[in-house]
Chains A and B, each alone.
Chain A
Amino acid sequence: MIRLNLRKKLRGARGDFDLKVSLEIEKGEFLVIFGPSGSGKTTLLRILAGLETPDEGYLEIEGKVWIDTNRKINLPPQKREIGFVFQDYALFPNMTVFENIAYGMKKKDSKKIRELLRIAGLEKLSETKPATLSGGQKQRVALLRALAREPRLLLLDEPFSALDPQTAAPLREEVKKLQKQEGITTIMVSHHEEDVLKLADRIVHLNEGKVLFQGKPEEIFYMKRTQSPVKSSLHGLLLKKNFNHDYYEITLALKTEILTLKINQPLGEKLKVGDKLYLCIKDFEILEKNES
């Protein structure tokens, strides 16, 4: 169980704002922090890693206090037992793939490294330097390096954003499989819907430093469980349906317009081209208020 309550003043493109987050995360949970860029999600992740200091707050993981500004506690990153995966992988160019993975292990265990490399299909690249690897391979190595040290908390900062969709899709599944298998509590920052749909047990939607919403991923995209009354509805004809790795993209003909939507896989499977559909929008969120 992780409990946190943090505040930090941030500089945004539209002036200063407060990052203010209070969360509880279950052991083994996969939490995705979702939101536009500049919403404070990476800063939150860096505070959890000890790479940045909050103005005030508290962070406790499995009974151990990592941050308590009242008691002037702020453990440095090297004492936190985390695995951090950077957006651009941050592999050590001076070390081989094997050495990169071994670097963070508390006790070097060659057998375990070889096993991890085998699972990730990288055993042939063990003695290669990172410079010659492809993006997907680099990301796998970065992930193995973070996992090899058996962290209490795995932190992923937009890990798939530099990869093309064909590479990212299978990697997402591997990550989810490994995470469930090892039962590692994971917090991932992303602004990709695919990440949320495929990986998250729970999602925290951050905007300008505030939590707008938290809950199951489908709730935020499809608003299935919102209790609010129907606000608006449309009738449409399904013209086209495309499967795109983990979601469907559908094109609907409305009275005078064409509308393209993303929907989740189970719903997409039920639909056929030519179906007549009834769409309702159940809720709105105001992201920006027109003050004039």
Chain B
Amino acid sequence: MKGMDFLPFWLTLKLAFWTTLILLIIGIPIGYYLAYTKYKINLLFEAMVNLPLVIPPTVLGFYLLLILNPKGIIGSLWHKLFGKSLVFHFEGIVVASVIYCFPVMINPLVSGFRSVPKNLIEVSLTLGKSKLETLIRVILPNMKFSVLTGIVLTFAHTLGEFGIVLMIGGNIEGETKVVSIAIYDAVEKLDYSTAHIYSAILLVLSLLTILSVYILNRRLSSDQA
């Protein structure tokens, strides 16, 4: 194990952390909107949210490259603001990963919002509380499991991200070379021992993450009873 480079793991965890945090922050208002409003246009929004589940990461990656590159709409704005490119940088793969993981976070949140009994929300309003306070003190605590599922699944999903990271970030040491890409790289170079170690660690890490959903699920459901 001497001389083993753990930088890809650090990068993967950092990517998963930021992706999950950003998605949680934007996912709650989006999920709230989709769950509690009944406009016809919402069908289109929900379909768009779920698009990353069905299109290949290369297709999504290709379109993202078009808008994130320094001449693209978002890429040029970013360049003006921060003086560097999104493409082939860590920030770029965070953006790509957020978009790619959208359904993984939004779907559990939407079903969580819908599972909270309507009269709990109504009674909170009649008790003089604003919609924001109702969200924080009544709705979110009563959909804890959905929030945790969203967080853990997004985290786990990002750990294994490959295609979209490769399209947007390439394979840059210390910047965009996450574990999945490092494994691909190692295999290409016929460095099977590195590939073995990386793969085994990623496998265990992912299994532990998913396992935590089930453990939390059991603990939360016995809490409520």
Residues on A facing B (Cβ under 8 Å): 49-51, 76-84, 86, 88, 90, 92-94, 103-104, 106, 129, 131, 145-146, 149, 155
Contacts and interface: CB of A to CB of B under 8 A. Distances in A.
A93 B119 contact: no
Contacts of A76: 125
B187 interface: no
A238 B117 CA distance: 50
Contacts of B120: 90, 92
Contacts of B137: 103
Interface of B: 117, 119-120, 122-130, 137-138, 141-142, 224-225
Given A84-B123, A90-B120, A78 B128 contact: yes
A150 to B, nearest CB: 11
Of B125, B138, B142, most A-chain CB atoms within 10 Å: B125
Contact of B126 (A83, A88, A92): A83
A79 B125 CA distance: 9
A81 B141 CA distance: 25
A86 B123 contact: yes
Contacts of B127: 78, 83, 103-104, 145-146, 149
A90 B142 CA distance: 12
13 contacts: A49-B122, A76-B125, A78-B127, A82-B126, A84-B122, A90-B117, A93-B224, A94-B141, A103-B127, A103-B137, A104-B129, A129-B224, A149-B127
Nearest to B121: A90
B141 A104 contact: no
Contact of B128 (A90, A129, A131, A149): A149
A103 B225 CA distance: 22
A142 to B, nearest CB: 8
Nearest to A99: B137
B105 to A, nearest CB: 22
Contacts of A92: 120, 124, 138, 142
A90 B119 contact: yes
Q: Which of A79, A80, A84, A155 has the most CB of B within 10 A?
A: A84
A131 B224 CA distance: 7
Interface SS of chain B: helix
A77 B119 contact: no
Lowest 8 CB-CB distances: which A-B pairs, in order? Answer: A104-B127, A84-B126, A94-B141, A77-B125, A90-B119, A90-B123, A77-B126, A78-B125
Contacts of A84: 122-123, 126
Contacts of A106: 128
Contact of B122 (A80, A81, A90, A131): A90
A199 to B, nearest CB: 21
Nearest to B128: A78
B147 to A, nearest CB: 13
Given A92-B138, A93-B142, A145-B127, 4 more contacts: A83-B126, A90-B123, A103-B129, A131-B224
A112 to B, nearest CB: 15
A90 B117 CA distance: 8
B137 to A, nearest CB: 7
Nearest to A87: B119
B36 to A, nearest CB: 14
A145 B124 CA distance: 11
Given A90-B120, A94-B141, A81 B128 contact: yes
A106 B142 CA distance: 23
A79 to B, nearest CB: 8
A82 B126 CA distance: 6
B126 A51 contact: yes
A215 to B, nearest CB: 29
Contacts of A104: 127-129
A160 to B, nearest CB: 17
B124, B126, B224 — most chain A CB neighbours (10 Å): B126
Contacts of B125: 50-51, 76-78
Contacts of A145: 127
A78 B129 contact: yes
B117 A94 contact: no
A104 B138 CA distance: 12
Contacts of B122: 49, 51, 77, 84, 86, 90
A86 B142 CA distance: 18
B144 to A, nearest CB: 8
Given A88-B119, A103-B137, A131-B225, A94 B128 contact: no
B224 A49 contact: no
A94 B139 CA distance: 10
A71 B225 CA distance: 48
Contacts of B117: 90
